[in-house]
Amino acid sequence: MLPRRAALLAMSGSMAGASAAKAQSPDHFHRIQWAAFRNRFMAPEGRIIDTGNDHVSHTEGQGWAMLAAVRADDRASFEKLHRWTNRTLRRQGDELFAWRFRPGAARPVDDPNNATDGDLFIAWALLEAGRRWGRADCTTQGTAMARDILRLLCAQAGPFTVLLPGSQGFQRTDHTVVNPSYYAFPAIRALAMALPDPAWLRLAADGVALLRASRFGRWGLPPDWLTIRHADGALALPGDWAPRFSYDAVRVPLYLAWVGLADEPALIGPADFWSDRQHRHMPAWTDLTNDGISPYAASPGITEVARLTRALRERSRWLADRPVGALDMPNYYSAALSLLAGLAAWDSGMA
């Protein structure tokens, strides 16, 4: 299947329509899952706390929580999340958000750069809130964010139209740095519906092509970070980050599963990696240069993403196998992955 065809499937109106319809009738499991996540990781003012990272907050967590709150029809929590994010992280001069808040620091928001994945999810959540609750202000803000994502975060790198990880710092003299896990195809689909523009299809098609071309190591896995050389489009692992399929790249198969792209190599590779019977435990990561794996097991959240990919590959249903509890949420990121896996299963018809 050509990348353009895969991108069209990922952005198909029929699947998006089904997602919107389901968003109006959230399942019981998601309500329970969201309540457990909210009660543990959301501060009273609407800040999502990353318990594994010095209790910072960032736009990925705000965006994921905002979307989950909409899907659970939890308007009170959504409004707290939205209000805190707007008041604390909104940038001057565009419709994007500063990526991080550090509690207790002299300047809690000390880096004005954005994180594109967070912006995609915030915009998506705003658009869904606008539809669900008749919030014209949310629809307007989500559409304005979509416009600035196209304007500020799409660039050409070699033969690819790419999604920059942030507006600053990723376009170097001879190469561009991208994060494959920032290609949140379900969010891109939602923004394309709100702000129709052929650029979305180019972005999605080249994103699929990039994922197909950037497979490394024994299992053919996408990396956490990737460089694209401007002169010829050559792909390589950057020296600035560990050369791993790890906590970022785990979201690549998640987002492909979310839009039903079961036959993409960037989903098949991780599914094979996680189910390799030679592992003594399910690894949290692998080094893409030597195929070494983490000495410890993957978190429950990564395990849920692995179950989701396996269910999609087997054309079976994804079902929660136990109630949500403290053992399922050892930290913010693991819990967030479990939350997202449930939403992905719901949207893609596997739940």
**E-strand stretches of the chain:** 57-58, 100-101, 154-157, 160-163, 175-178, 226-229, 235-236, 244-245, 286-287
Query: Which is catalytic among the residues 60, 248, 264, 304?
Result: 60
- Among 117, 148, 248, 264, the one annotated catalytic: 117
Q: In the annotation, is 60 catalytic?
A: yes
154 Cβ contact partners less than 8 Å away, ≥ 6 residues apart:
161, 162, 163, 164, 199, 203
Active site residue 74: no
- Which helix (H) or strand (E) segment is 190 a member of? helix 185-194
Cβ count within 10 A of residue 326: 9
Specify whether the CB–CB gap between 98 and 119 falls below 8 A: no
Task: Name the CA dihedral angle for 244, 164, 193, 122, rounded to a multiple of 10 degrees.
Answer: 80
How many whole angstroms separate alpha carbon 90 and alpha carbon 86?
A: 5
Helices (H) and strands (E) in the chain, counts: 13, 9
**Which residues are annotated as catalytic?**
60, 117
